[in-house]
Structure 1
Amino acid sequence: MKLLSSAVLLFLVLGSALAYKSYSGYQVLKTAPLTAAAMPYVSRMSQRFDFWGTPGVGRPATVMVSPEEAPVVVAAFNRMRVSHEVLVADLGPQVETQRAEREALKVSSPRKPRTASYDRFMEFVEIDAHIHETADGNPAIASVLDLGFSYGGLEFHGLKLSNGQPGQKAVWFDCAIHAREWLSTPVCLRIIDEVVANPALRDLADWYILPVANPDGYDYSFTDDRFWRKTRRPTADANCPGTDPNRNFDFLWDAGNPTDYCSEVYPGTGAFSEPEVAAMGNFILDIADNLVLYVAVHSYGEMILYPYGHTVEPVPNVDQLIAAGTGTASADAIAAVAGTAYTVENSASGLYFTYGASDDFAYGRGAVEFAYTFELSAGGSGGFDPPASQIQPVVDEVWPGMLALVEYVLAN
């Protein structure tokens, strides 16, 4: 790979510096593994502060704090007697370094037509072009899903891959519903690559793949704010735009959710208030008669979560959900590649209580028998910002797990 000169790199960085949030002085704090007694307090804190990863009993919590928030969060941890450390003392330099690397890679390693890039993170416009190129180049098996427009006017698309057999069962994968979780999108792109190349996979099922479920937020995370999570639709608080799209689905919407507009998990003004979420949810309902597997790909946590997020009470087919996720199926297939151990857990007990989430909607409203959220590996300064060098290892180890899951579900 040809290296850019320092002068060119400096020009690229300065060209977008004015718009890009610096995160200068922001810290990333990491707690010791949490106790059951601490979890209720941490769950309440997570409604106000930006917790990363998957805090849970026996696992540490990671939280990003501004210079103003740091003493408040530290004092709260001290009151709870939760020991913690400063994982990143100043996030600003790391954000700048990663942005400079990304700009350099975009110039030195441009995407080739009809080819997904796995040596760098692709921007929304590149991903959308790749979807159309794949459909244009494979008209007998690929068709573009016209899902509609985002609040910001971006037309967003998924892809259907099928051999055209009538009455075929269907499987669904979506990625990047949380904007900053860039590592999820290459997983969806890898699924597209594999299914296009292998007719036997299309004989198994019709495949629906949505690489970017939150186009406005994803685009904004590249242009303005690396750690942006939500949509970009304004709220009643002009200083706090955006809704958490994974709390906006029409299933137990707002049950116990916060009404703080600035919260990272603000659920919106009503179920399906976000046009992107409504488009996605309604499409899932349209294909629900044939849909047997729903998978939302997130990062991070190395977990395979199954419904429900609002209760730890087991769902009727819990044994099948666990068997498909673990045993000889998905988690074992992932571990066989490089030894990464994914755990398989109920969403409420493994993550935290959630309402209006996409997998619960697919399971509870769409009657999709197998519904999961995959939390990928962590990376970078605190988990959400893995380097580009991590893309290929993650997609290489996760794809066998996805395939094993599909094969198990269709066989059972």
Structure 2
Amino acid sequence: MAIRSAVATSLTLRLLFIALLSICLASLVSGATSQSYRRLEPKSGIAKVSEEHYPHHQLSSWRRLSNRIIQKVLGYPESVKSLASSSVSRGGDGQPTHRLRTRYSEDIVLRFNCSTADEAWALSEACEILFLDVWEFGESFVDVRLSKDTVSPLLSLLPESLQDAHAPIMQDLDLAQAVYNSYPQTFSSSTRPHDNQLSNPNTASSNTEDANIFFQNYQPLSVILPWMRLMASIFPTHVRMINVGKTFENREIPALKVGVHPTNSEKPLPPRKTIIVTGGIHAREWISTSSVNYLAYSLATQYGKSQLITSLIESFDWIFVPSVNPDGYVYTWNDDRLWRKSRQPTSLRFCSGIDLDRSFGYHWDGAVTSDNPCSESFAGEEPFGAIETGTFVDWVRNQTTNHNAEVVAFLDLHSYSQEVLYPYSYSCTASPPSLENLQELAMGLAKAMRLSSGHYYKVVSACEGNVMPISEKAPRKSSLPQGGGSALDWFYGEMGVRYAFQIKLRDTGSYGFLLPKEHIVPTGKEVLEAALHLARHMRGDFDYLKIPERGPSMISTNWRKPSRGESSRFSEENIGGLDGPQTGEILDQDDQWELRRRKRR
């Protein structure tokens, strides 16, 4: 009897613990309630639930207990080493640490306005000579990070027309402060939001995802990994955690696989259509990593609740890779927030890292940077010379060869500049065979994101960076060494993935790579709408209106010649007459005519 009693007691305790754990996990998935807001515990780089409260509400003992259990289940470390959280170097409330100021306070990011190809080439060559960090470049601008005492030497290498054609971005913030703000911060008594701030709809949203612990801040890899394991354990019917490669520092490249396979079919199944979404190939682009996580979370939690998402999970396997570059991502948290490349050593001991998005084998052009391992775009010494790209490609090929997978779409998330890019990246003179289809769907993605938030995303070929025509009839040329060896081109050109896109997320230069955490959820929602539109297009949900060829009179009435520089950038901002994503995407006549004109050109 005593043994039976002991067994019964043990079983009861186990059942109670399982029930308690289940309730806590459900609480995590649904997000925290509007009765509490989140803050960071001291010396911690991750979000925790505070025992502070909204006015007129109080956390119950159960809520405090469940929050603590959630933190334990997630495996949150007691502290996370980061540039912003070092106990020996922490500054005052809201102020950069001494370590951050030492590294970044003398740096500045300048935006140069280039109006000719010669200006762009001159700036490119000067940046190579001075080993400067080119953050981003567009049709008429280049953003360059440099130390303040390097401004004069840089200007001395530039033509007269660029001497005054520049201005700093982040004018209201110095770089050290912007870096500090991008890390999770600790609320002190002086910086904790007041009650009226918490109840303000502009500062406290009732939306579940907005209030979710995980998306309140950017998260380090030490938190992302247990979060991914937790997602797989909560939703075992349609979520699995897998590994898609290895890194130089022997980390695994983690991913979440979301999909449902039929189990009652005795017939051989056709290849499973698969959509791959990657982020973090460049370490400092944190918003890309958080957006992949947001997309995975949204699909996983809405399965069985949203008819659309449920059907898309049943139609496709989704592979979400938050960071293709875990080594670099960890380094941005521990040592250098603005690190871009991997951490693999090069021929120069003091210049580590390979640009993973130049390391893929399709039209690899490593000769451009082979003599400069310090370059931010260093492509390695051979195709797939970066361990991360080599192992990731091996995984993709293994899936298609041995595991009945067919990759039908590829989304590669980056930042910044708010653009939807389509192949090719390696050349502006080579046109992809399905150019018109790529442009058409790219416009649909941009449209879906704009409807989500009001933010415009331009549609442009990936090869076109800071480029200007020599004359009206001359072909455009790229002004900055770029393009070959990209993941985008490899999936499209080598693997034959029909729809491959790179999306550069927010913003357009106000913060650059240091996008404030308040943009995490809104950007994630934009990506979610783009991904849903992509999948619906692949499934054939949209019935595109067929427009007959037009005669000369219709051309003269409805079509205008684009202004200089506009013709090669097909901006989504000029799209009109489109129905919303829920009713179907129908291109108006001007858009159809423009697509045909570009195809014939």
Structure 2 length-normalised TM: 0.61
Distance 1:394 1:78, change over 3 A: same
Aligned identity (percent) is 25
Tell whether the 8 Å contact from 2:41 to 2:186 is kept in structure 1 after alignment: no
Give the alignment partner of residue 408 of structure 2, picking from 263, 284, 292: 292
- For structure 1, the residue ranges without an aligned partner over 5 or more in a row are none
Q: Secondary structure at the match of 1:332?
A: helix
Tell whether the 8 Å contact from 2:358 to 2:379 is kept in structure 1 after alignment: yes
| Coordinate RMSD, CA, aligned | 3.0
Give the alignment partner of residue 395 of structure 2, picking from 271, 278, 283: 283
| Residue 234 of structure 2 corresponds to residue 144 of structure 1 | no
Distance 1:366 1:68, change over 3 A: farther
In structure 2, the residue matched to 1:102 is: 184
Question: Following TM superposition, by how much is the alpha carbon of 1:173 offset from its aligned partner in structure 2, in angstroms?
Answer: 0.3
Question: Following TM superposition, by how much is the alpha carbon of 1:71 offset from its aligned partner in structure 2, in angstroms?
Answer: 2.2
- Partners of 1:246 and 1:87 lie apart in 2 by 25
What letter is aligned with 2:162?
R
Distance 1:346 1:287, change over 3 A: farther
Tell whether the 8 Å contact from 1:94 to 1:381 is kept in structure 2 after alignment: no
In structure 2, the residue matched to 1:361 is: 490
What letter is aligned with 2:373?
Y
Q: Secondary structure at the match of 2:319?
A: strand
What letter is aligned with 1:30?
R
Spell out the pairing of 1:10-409 with structure 2 (5 A cutoff). Answer: 12-15=85-88, 22-45=103-126, 47=128, 48-53=131-136, 55-57=137-139, 59-79=140-160, 81=162, 83-87=165-169, 91-95=174-178, 97-98=180-181, 102-104=184-186, 117-165=214-262, 166-167=269-270, 168-196=272-300, 197-198=302-303, 199-254=310-365, 256-259=367-370, 260-288=372-400, 290-312=406-428, 313-326=430-443, 329-350=444-465, 353-378=482-507, 382-409=511-538
Question: Following TM superposition, by how much is the alpha carbon of 1:87 offset from its aligned partner in structure 2, in angstroms?
Answer: 2.9
- Partners of 1:164 and 1:229 lie apart in 2 by 38
Question: Following TM superposition, by how much is the alpha carbon of 1:146 offset from its aligned partner in structure 2, in angstroms?
Answer: 1.8
Question: Following TM superposition, by how much is the alpha carbon of 1:264 offset from its aligned partner in structure 2, in angstroms?
Answer: 0.2
- Partners of 1:245 and 1:303 lie apart in 2 by 20
Distance 1:183 1:3, change over 3 A: closer
- Partners of 1:129 and 1:42 lie apart in 2 by 44
Q: Higher mean Cα deviation, 219-228 or 390-399?
A: 390-399
What letter is aligned with 1:249?
F
Larger Rg: 2
Distance 1:75 1:355, change over 3 A: same
Question: Following TM superposition, by how much is the alpha carbon of 1:394 offset from its aligned partner in structure 2, in angstroms?
Answer: 1.2
- Partners of 1:71 and 1:268 lie apart in 2 by 31
What letter is aligned with 2:411?
V
Q: Once the two structures are superposed, what CA deviation does each residue of 1:222-264 show, in whole Å capped at 9, x if it has no partner?
A: 1111100000111121211111111111112225521211100
Q: Once the two structures are superposed, what CA deviation does each residue of 1:76-135 show, in whole Å capped at 9, x if it has no partner?
A: 344453611133578453146426x52427xx9xxx9xx772110010121111221112
- Partners of 2:84 and 2:359 lie apart in 1 by 40
Distance 1:129 1:66, change over 3 A: same
- For structure 2, the residue ranges without an aligned partner over 5 or more in a row are 1-36, 46-82, 90-96, 193-208, 263-268, 304-309, 467-477, 543-601
- Partners of 1:377 and 1:140 lie apart in 2 by 34
Number of corresponding residues: 400
Q: Secondary structure at the match of 2:286?
A: coil
Q: Secondary structure at the match of 1:29?
A: strand
- Partners of 2:41 and 2:278 lie apart in 1 by 38
Q: Higher mean Cα deviation, 317-326 or 42-51?
A: 42-51
Tell whether the 8 Å contact from 2:418 to 2:457 is kept in structure 1 after alignment: yes
Distance 1:195 1:25, change over 3 A: same
Distance 1:140 1:45, change over 3 A: farther
Question: Following TM superposition, by how much is the alpha carbon of 1:33 offset from its aligned partner in structure 2, in angstroms?
Answer: 5.0
Greater RCO, 1 or 2 (C-alpha within 8 Å, sep 6+): 1
Tell whether the 8 Å contact from 1:307 to 1:347 is kept in structure 2 after alignment: yes
- Partners of 2:346 and 2:85 lie apart in 1 by 33
Tell whether the 8 Å contact from 1:91 to 1:381 is kept in structure 2 after alignment: no
Distance 1:116 1:157, change over 3 A: farther
Tell whether the 8 Å contact from 2:112 to 2:142 is kept in structure 1 after alignment: yes
Question: Following TM superposition, by how much is the alpha carbon of 1:148 offset from its aligned partner in structure 2, in angstroms?
Answer: 3.7
Distance 1:5 1:34, change over 3 A: same
Question: Following TM superposition, by how much is the alpha carbon of 1:293 offset from its aligned partner in structure 2, in angstroms?
Answer: 0.4
Tell whether the 8 Å contact from 1:29 to 1:88 is kept in structure 2 after alignment: no
In structure 1, the residue matched to 2:547 is: none
Distance 1:337 1:233, change over 3 A: same
Question: Following TM superposition, by how much is the alpha carbon of 1:19 offset from its aligned partner in structure 2, in angstroms?
Answer: 6.5
